[in-house]
Each structure stands twice: as C-alpha cells, then as structure tokens.
Chain A
C-alpha cells in the first residue's frame, strides 16, 4: 500500500481507531494484522515470504539464546544470515548476476544458456531482511531473544516502517511494542505535522521535480548546459524529498500509534564533507552498515590500507543493496572513494572533515560536497552507462542553447531555502501553538494542496529497494 494513495487514506483512520479502541494483546494483534494487510495490499502472495523471514529469524534468535556453545551459536547465526541473504539473492540479485555472467561469457566467446528467474521483487525486501537479520546478530552479540512470536513479527512487519525504513533496531522498537501505549502520551500535533509534511514533500515537491528530471534523463542530449545541471540538482532534491518524505510519514504515523522511530535524515545537503553527508543521509542504513559490516570487517582498527579497503567494500555493498545494477555498485564505490580520499586528507575520527570546518571553509566544503553528491546521483539515477555518458557530456556542454526548467529552478531555490533554514522545527513549534481546530484546518488545507498539486500517485523511489 502506498502512503500517497486513497487506500492508505482509508486504512490509516481505521487502523488508528482499532488500535486505540483495543488494549493489551488485542491491540498488538490488531497492529500485526493491520501491518500484514498493509503489506498484502501490494501482493498477498509475498506476505508468505515476509512471514518466512519472521519465522526463521525468530527461531534462530531463540536457538542462539538457548546455547552457550560458541560454535553452535555461530552456526545458527550463519543459518539466519544465509537465509536472509538467500532470499535477497534469489529475488533481487539472481538475474543481475545471471546477466553479468552471461555478459562475461559472451565477451569470452563462450556459448551459454543461463536460466533466468521470472519473479518480481517483493516490496521492501531489502529493508525488512536487514532489520530482521540485525536482530539475530544482536542476539548473537548478547541481546536477549524475543520469546513472543507475535511481538517479534510485529517488530519486523510494523507497517509505518516496513517498506522503506527507517531500519529500526530490535532494542529500540521491541520494548515499545511490549507496553500498552497510552493515547494521552501521543503527540498529536507532531504526528499530524510529520504526516502531512512527508506527504507534501513526496506528492508535491518530489513528484513535480520528477516531471522535469524524467524528461531530461529520457533525452539527455536535448538538454545541455544549465538545463542538465538543473535536472541534476532537481534529482538531488527529488530523491531527498521522496525518501525523507517517506520517513516523515513513517515517523508521523508511528507517533499517532504511540511509537517512536529514529530520525533518518538531518539536512544532508548541508554536509561539508562526504563522511558528514553519511551521518545525515539515510542514517539508519549508514549505522546498520557501520555496525554490521564495516566494524566486523575491522573498521578503522588497522593500517590505512585496510581501513580504505573496508570503506570501499562497505560502500560498494551498500550501493548494491540499493539496486541490482552495476550503476548502483559504481555509485557505492564512488562514495567509498570520496570517503577514502577524505580519510587520507583529514584523517579518521568523528571530527574528520566537516565538523572541524568553520565560516567560509565550511561553506566551500558544503558547496563542494553537494556537487560531489550530485555527481554521484547521476550514477544512481541513470538507467545505463550510455545515459551516464550522455549526461556528463550535456553537463559540460555550455554551447548556446535554450534553457529549460526555469520554473523548476525556482522550486529548487525554494527547496534549498527550506533545507538551509536555521531551525525548521520552528514551523512545528508554531503549529503546536495554534488551537487544535486551526491545526485541523491547516491539515485540511495541506490535504487540498496534496490533492491539487500532486502529478500522480507515484511509488516512493525507495520502494524498489
């Protein structure tokens, strides 16, 4: 089910009503059933895959907790990791590896008849497998295993963050799910504000920007110079508004259910260095990759060469997590390279790069980082290498040509101003201060804006991951 759909507009009030009318176990069952219904709306057949992941990791968690034998624990963890990655490999990466192998065989002049899987990618599979897998790893590391299958299933399937995150840790969400949330503790203005802000970011800003971006990426050679740069900037804000919009809706919806999810974005385009960008962009994935991949690989405890290898490996796999295409791998490696260069120049530590910059140096760093990130988005957005090449040629072609997308540039300026505004929370503060009826009126006005200014009910970009 899409957040930006009529179905969700019906589902959410019904879910909230049922949730707050019930108590105790009945409430948790209602949320679980609602979450499975939410997922099944897309395609009920894949709910079984989701439940399989739940069942395997629940059993593995209990089995790990039941034994002190290190080898046995490691073996059970391997079962969990392999099953999760196996599901991902089968549904998401099989055809990618098959195509890559076929291309290599063809290049070598070898005949091949490799099988191809005709399956569709289950929605949100990358998110829920990572979330579920992190649980068994945490249990392996000493966290108590969850005894209740219902509560564990709820942790994995909880609908606000099921499809596109934030990737929540079991230690954060499970305790919240086990207590009966009280309605009087719900921050209604915050929930409504984040919900509508997220929908506005997605349905109005991101989808309108996408109209121009789609046109340029469909025919890059026809949009040179400034027109191409506007498209690249537009995509940078499109993907930010799209994804952070989803997170806003998830956090807002969670708040209305009395659940608190972690923040996933912190004005990422104000980052002065690539490492600072990754502390502000898709934080739940960055920390996941750090805690479950980078650190186990050795992190930065070793020679510089080893650290850079770990960075490249982590970011390369992070790129592959986003999509089964070499352009995504290249995007990940590109960011790995940026982080490596930063590390070589500025050294390691949390204070590396941006946070030590002040004044003009920080502004220069922000502008430079933003443009480096934008060039990375080119790899992320382009459907193939030919488009990457043509777009790069268009970006460097400043021969006289009519400039397209002037109005989009105005919208981008507004986005940038909102992004750089010193304290966006002041808008929430103002929203809190007005009377509840006025809050409802503002939400109604926002609803009209959504209905009138949204081009179409497009899926969120991160749904494909």
Chain B
C-alpha cells in the first residue's frame, strides 16, 4: 500500500509540516524573547506596526505623545517616563510612543493629523527632529518607490504619507523585530562572548564593515554589496533645503498641534561618537542652522540631552539607543517633562498645566 501512495503528496505534506514547525518556532521564540530581553519594545504603549491601533484602544488619549522615527521609537520608553514622573511626586500621567521606524517628517505629520482629527490629542507632544527625518530623500527603498508615484504638493503630501503608512505597515510587519534582534544580540553577546556582539554593526553604519574587514591597503578590492551600501551613505550629504517636503511637513506638524492646543517640543535624540557627521544633529551644520532658525521662528524649544546622559555602550549602532540606553534616556527625558510642566504652571492652555502636579 505504501507503494501506492503518491510520493509527491508525501513530500508536500512533509514541506507543509516543516513550514508549520518553522512558523511555530518563530512565534514561540518571539514570545519568549519578548518576555526576557526586550520587554520594553513590546510595551503596548511603544508599538510600531500596531501604533495606531493601540493608540485608539487606549481608554483615554495619552497626555504625552512621542512622535518621530526609529531614534525615538527605540530610545524612549513611555513607561519609564511615567515611572520617573510619579517617583518625583507628579501625578500619574499616560505616555504613548507613536514614533516609528524609518519615519520621515511627512509620516509624522500624517500621524499627528490623524491623532488630532480623531480626537486623540495629547497635552504635550515631543516631536523627534534630526538630519535624517528632514532629509528630502529619507532613505527607504520601498517608501521612495511609492513616493515616486506621488505629486510633490499638498494633496500628494497626504498620498505620500498614506503610501508611507502603507509601506511602513508592510515593512514593519515583516521586519518589526529588527531592532529587537539587536537588543537581544547585546544580551546574548555579553553572556556568550563577554562582549556585546552588536557594536560590530556600528561599522556597517559608520565606515562599512567590509572596509574594516578588508583594511585600507585592499581598498582597491572593496567592491562588495556591503561596501556599496556604506558608500551610498557616504555619497551625498542629506539634502536639507528649507522648502523640502519634510521641512514643510515639520512646520505643518507644529501648526497643527498648536492649533489643537497641544504643547510642542522638538526632541533631538543622542547619538554615539560613531555616528556619521551628516547623521549627527550636532555636527551637521546645515541641519543645525535649519532647526535652530525654525525653532526660534516658531517658538518651539529643542530638547537636547547634555553629554553623559547615556553611556557609549548604550547604543546598538551609532544612532539608535539600545534597551539600557532607552531607559537611561527616558529617565532624563522625564525630568525635562517635569521641568516643562513646571515652567508652564499658571498657563491655562494645556491640559498638563491644569494637572495636579
């Protein structure tokens, strides 16, 4: 009888069973690791792909909202901010990290608009700013591909952002664990090798791991995919023209939130010394002038962490904080939040200023 059964069906059944086991292991592994090495990124108020769904599920609109890209998404823990505020004698507040990986200022604008239009507006919003999010070609191949479909003016801004949101959902749902892997590698590396595995990734961002591997004298042979991607980063500095779509979107975000009665603060996340000069908010002179002028003109304070708030080991690459760095930075940010609230005492324009703090 065994001879009669189709071997083809057997192989298909075997393939199906293997895929089932494979998928089950990925899900179980993700579940286990979410409860061990990266719980902060599974915090329901620090979602990426689920951020909008989760935000709408919150019983009350968050009072403090964090907007921006992966810098803020990885680097700010709302739960830690809340904890420090309470520890310092403040009343319990509710924070929500709506920042998302590879977001541009356009993405942030659309997110802010949706939040305001749907009545989920916060009392205070920290809007992440950096050279990368204001770059006219905030690099993301899928986004850029979708953007190519769009017209560069107002209606297309929505379309572009819609495409961004779609692309983000697509990308994030597939690669949502990217940052989590690096945090986990940090833990695994320290346990197994006594040194974090991840800092090697810094090379990929800064000068190219391939270049480091190959050495300067073999530079003539540095023609690999790794080199290509790193040289692409070294090629043109960010285009930070004052009228580019992302700069316009940032202005609109501020206007939109202000009109809704939301206190706006720009936040610049710390970056490591390995960050490329054009990536760094402190070293990119064009960006610095642009953001300082805009902040002065709009009257928006820029929150910049002083040196020493996070340690050199608090990064998993030159520009993203790891889990420990996120907690350390969030503790500092909580003090800024408290100070901001204190400064606004007496004002009646925001919900927080009416708080019992």
Asked whether A and B interact, the reply is: yes
* B166 at interface by CB-CB < 8 Å: no
A4-22 to B contact mask, C-beta < 8 Å, 1/0: 0010001000000000000
- 218-260 of chain B: CB within 8 A of chain A: 218, 220-228
* A113 at interface by CB-CB < 8 Å: no
A435 contact set on B, CB distance < 8 A: 17
- 405-452 of chain A: CB within 8 A of chain B: 407-408, 435-445, 447-448, 451-452
* B165 at interface by CB-CB < 8 Å: no
The smallest beta-carbon distance between A19 and chain B, in angstroms, is 13
- Cα-based distance from A453 to B215 in the complex (angstroms): 24
A163-192 to B contact mask, C-beta < 8 Å, 1/0: 000000000000000000011101010001
Query: B25 contacts A441, CB within 8 Å?
Result: yes
Query: A383 contacts B217, CB within 8 Å?
Result: yes
- Cα-based distance from A218 to B223 in the complex (angstroms): 20
B18 contact set on A, CB distance < 8 A: 188, 192, 436-437, 439-440, 443
Complex partner residue of A453 from B175, B192, B217, CB under 8 angstroms:
B192
Given contacts A120-B223, A459-B225, A463-B225, contact A182 B8 (CB under 8 A): yes
Query: A436 contacts B17, CB within 8 Å?
Result: yes
Query: B21 contacts A121, CB within 8 Å?
Result: no
Closest to A406 in B: B194
- Give the size of the chain A interface in residues (CB under 8 angstroms): 59
Mostly, the A contact residues are: helix
B216 contact set on A, CB distance < 8 A: 383
Query: A443 contacts B201, CB within 8 Å?
Result: no
A387 contact set on B, CB distance < 8 A: 215, 217
Closest to B28 in A: A444
Query: A443 contacts B25, CB within 8 Å?
Result: yes
Query: B200 contacts A455, CB within 8 Å?
Result: yes
- Cα-based distance from A328 to B43 in the complex (angstroms): 52
Segment touching B, from A206-214, A246-254, A305-313: A206-214
Query: A444 contacts B22, CB within 8 Å?
Result: yes
* A47 at interface by CB-CB < 8 Å: no
Mostly, the B contact residues are: helix
A96 contact set on B, CB distance < 8 A: 220
A323 contact set on B, CB distance < 8 A: 218, 221
The smallest beta-carbon distance between A257 and chain B, in angstroms, is 13
Query: A42 contacts B225, CB within 8 Å?
Result: yes
Query: A440 contacts B217, CB within 8 Å?
Result: no
Query: B212 contacts A214, CB within 8 Å?
Result: yes
Query: A184 contacts B25, CB within 8 Å?
Result: no
Query: B26 contacts A448, CB within 8 Å?
Result: yes
Given contacts A323-B218, A448-B29, contact A188 B213 (CB under 8 A): no
Query: A458 contacts B8, CB within 8 Å?
Result: no
Complex partner residue of B218 from A1, A182, A383, A441, CB under 8 angstroms:
A383
- 177-209 of chain B: CB within 8 A of chain A: 177, 181, 184-185, 188-189, 192-194, 197-198, 200-201, 203-204, 209
Closest to A458 in B: B209
- Cα-based distance from A455 to B18 in the complex (angstroms): 27
- Cα-based distance from A446 to B267 in the complex (angstroms): 40
Closest to A453 in B: B188
- Cα-based distance from A218 to B218 in the complex (angstroms): 13
Query: A436 contacts B13, CB within 8 Å?
Result: yes
Closest to A439 in B: B18
* A454 at interface by CB-CB < 8 Å: yes
A408 contact set on B, CB distance < 8 A: 193
Query: B29 contacts A43, CB within 8 Å?
Result: no
Given contacts A325-B218, A325-B221, contact A458 B24 (CB under 8 A): no
- Cα-based distance from A186 to B189 in the complex (angstroms): 37
* A95 at interface by CB-CB < 8 Å: yes
- Cα-based distance from A120 to B219 in the complex (angstroms): 11
A286 contact set on B, CB distance < 8 A: none
- Cα-based distance from A451 to B184 in the complex (angstroms): 9
Query: B20 contacts A183, CB within 8 Å?
Result: no
Query: A217 contacts B215, CB within 8 Å?
Result: yes
The smallest beta-carbon distance between B142 and chain A, in angstroms, is 12
A456 contact set on B, CB distance < 8 A: 200-201, 203-204, 209
Query: A441 contacts B221, CB within 8 Å?
Result: no
A6 contact set on B, CB distance < 8 A: 174-175
- Cα-based distance from A439 to B25 in the complex (angstroms): 11
* B11 at interface by CB-CB < 8 Å: yes
Query: A444 contacts B24, CB within 8 Å?
Result: yes
- Cα-based distance from A438 to B218 in the complex (angstroms): 45
* A291 at interface by CB-CB < 8 Å: no
The smallest beta-carbon distance between B152 and chain A, in angstroms, is 26
- Cα-based distance from A382 to B214 in the complex (angstroms): 8
* B50 at interface by CB-CB < 8 Å: no
- Cα-based distance from A8 to B320 in the complex (angstroms): 25
A-B contact pairs, 10 of them (CB 8 A): A121-B221, A208-B193, A325-B218, A325-B221, A408-B193, A441-B22, A447-B29, A451-B181, A453-B197, A464-B214
A96-B220, A441-B25, A447-B25 given; 17 more Cβ-contact pairs under 8 Å: A42-B225, A120-B223, A121-B221, A121-B223, A186-B11, A192-B18, A210-B213, A211-B200, A384-B215, A436-B18, A440-B19, A440-B23, A442-B25, A444-B29, A445-B25, A445-B29, A458-B226
Q: Which 7 A-B pairs have the closest CB atoms?
A: A444-B25, A440-B21, A383-B215, A436-B17, A121-B223, A384-B217, A440-B18
Question: Which residues of B approach A to under 8 Å, CB–CB?
Answer: 6-8, 10-15, 17-26, 28-29, 33, 174-175, 177, 181, 184-185, 188-189, 192-194, 197-198, 200-201, 203-204, 209-210, 212-218, 220-228
Question: Which residues of A approach B to under 8 Å, CB–CB?
Answer: 1-2, 6, 10, 42-43, 95-96, 99, 120-123, 182-184, 186, 188, 192, 207-208, 210-211, 214, 217-218, 323-325, 382-384, 387, 407-408, 435-445, 447-448, 451-459, 463-464
